[in-house]
Amino acid sequence: MAVREIVRLDNPVLRKRALKVTAFDNSLQRLVDDMLDTLDKAEGVGLAAPQVAVPQRLIIVRLGDDEASREEYGEDAGKLFVVANPEYVKVSKKQVEGVEACLSIPGFFGTVDRHEEVIVRGLDRYGKPQRIKAKGWLARVFQHEIDHLDGRLYIDIASDVWSEKDIEEAEAEKAAAAQEEQQSAQS
């Protein structure tokens, strides 16, 4: 097991449709283990194989497992989902807006509409068929990761994108304005 480099926006593998997983051999098991180590080190909730420069249709998803996550996500908290060749069986008509980020685009965030619920089918790490019903945050993460397999990034569908720098500048402006207001009130 090893931590792999997460490729960035400029790597063309992120913009290509990934290839179907056909072999569930030791090489795939090593990739899954490496992706999990990489996800843990990056403190993320999802990772697609193209993000570690492997053009295969493979994703891993794992929500947090702390007390707050267990309260919010219930039985999905901390559960590891490994899905090869994922595809949607059903998506809800209702979409919800939410904020997303991506390990391949560090320092940026975006507002994205996603289906509130999805049912995904695919194969587990050993090639056994599985079906996963996801709602809320878990559904959002699945959609984000499956998009990676089709060469699509959240910034392609976001209604707004901003950086950490934008947030810092806005907070600095707000603090300066508050300080000015306080000084004016004292004079």
User: Do residues 59 and 146 make contact, with C-beta atoms less than 8 angstroms apart?
Assistant: yes
For 63, the enclosing helix (H) or strand (E) is none
Catalytic residue among 67, 71, 117, 145: 145
Tell me, yes or no, if 164 is annotated catalytic: no
Q: Within 10 Å of residue 42's Cβ, how many Cβ atoms?
A: 14
| Rounded distance between C-alpha atoms, residue 126 and residue 143, angstroms | 22
* Dihedral over alpha carbons 44, 144, 111, 170 (to 10 degrees): 30
Q: How far apart are CA 140 and CA 158, in angstroms?
A: 13
Q: How far is CA 25 from CA 28, 54, 73, 84, 128, in A?
A: 5, 15, 32, 13, 13
Residues that are catalytic: 145
